[in-house]
Amino acid sequence: MARELADVLHHFLGDSVSGERLGPASLALLSEPDDAFAVAVAWNLAHELARQGLAVAWVTSLADEELLPPDATPGLTRLLSPAQELSGLARAVSEASAKLAASRAPGLVLARVPPGWIAPGPAAERTLAWTLQLVPPDLEQRIRAIAIARRVLAAHPSARVGAVLHEVRSVREAERAFTALARECAERSDARLTSYGLLLDEAELYRSLLARRPLALLRPEARATRAVADVANLLRADFACDAD
């Protein structure tokens, strides 16, 4: 039982005991290649996770890089991959993992995976163990999200399938939508969805990308910023549980 800060701070300050995790985890944000909103979310989430103490590497596509600030931003490593299918992306994720493994901080590799790329095989094993979808609350989008979740589980049966609600105006609306989504998912498949909160005031995410500053720096008090931080916090909590 901790009696001193020293018992705790080493988890954050880069001198944690090595060997807690075999290698960096990877998180696949399932989104279409031209989804600018997903790019804005990924960029802000990556920065927030880095702000919370993770070493984050983002395997980007050419489409991502066209939207992202050309200059490096503190706390985030970006590795451009020209991959056009899952096996190429899996190689890039492995490369990013190897780079992060040299870091002393706990590491997470982030990649955007187009749902059309999902297929069984070794690449799915490497890239789809932990997935995240951005799900609007309407029925059509929920059904689409469930279909993608089923494809993920067909390719990687033990995958953790996460969902973040967006295009909602309140926590209550997000909760209702997730409740419906989880129920519909249970009715249509054996998939169990993991909740990763919600996003609010999404225009702020676009603005941060245009301003080339993560929300936490651009608008630290905004609801959108708190929502991104909460999503990152939930991701980090599961990351930590997996490492234990």
Partner 1 sequence: MPTERRPQRERLALRGALLRLTPPLETIAEDVLGVVSRIDLITRDPDGAVTVVLVAQAGADLARLAEGIAQRTWLAPRLADWNQLAPHLALAAEQGARLLLVAPRFDDRTRTAVEALGRDGVRLAELIPRGDLDVELRVLELDPPSEPTQPPTASPRRESGFRSGLRD
**Closest distance to partner 1 from the beta carbon of 83 (Å):** 32
Tell which residue, 134, 149, 144, has the closest CA to residue 189: 149
Beta bridge partners of 195: 163
Burial class (CB in 10 A: 0-12, 13-18, 19+), 215: buried
Least distance between partner 1 and beta carbon 58 (Å): 21
Give the CB-side neighbour count of residue 66, counting CA atoms within 13 A.
8
> Of 92 and 231, which has the nearer Cβ to partner 1?
231
Binding segment for partner 1 (CB under 8 A), chosen from 1-9, 64-72, 115-123, 148-156, is 1-9
Of the pair 211, 243, the CB lying nearest partner 1 is at 243
User: Token pair 């790019």 is at which residue?
Assistant: 39
Residues 13-52, one symbol each (x = binds partner 1 by CB under 8 A, - = not), give x-------------------------------------xx
Give the C-alpha separation, 234 to 151, whole Å. Answer: 24
Q: Is 174 in the site for partner 1 (CB under 8 A)?
A: yes
Footprint (CB under 8 A) of partner 1, residues 133-172: 170-172
**3 state DSSP class of 89:** helix
Structure tokens at 19: 């060997």
Three-class DSSP category at 86: helix
Asked whether 64 and 35 are in contact (CB, 8 A), the reply is no
The residue type found at 83 is: A
Candidate list 28, 196, 219, 225; residue touching partner 1; CB under 8 A: 196
Identify which of residues 7 and 138 has a Cβ nearer to partner 1 in the complex.
Answer: 7
- Closer residue to partner 1 (CB): 39 or 182: 182
Residue numbers at the binding site for partner 1 (CB under 8 A): 1-9, 11-13, 51-53, 170-172, 174-175, 178-179, 182-183, 192-198, 200, 226-227, 229-230, 233-234, 236-237, 240, 244
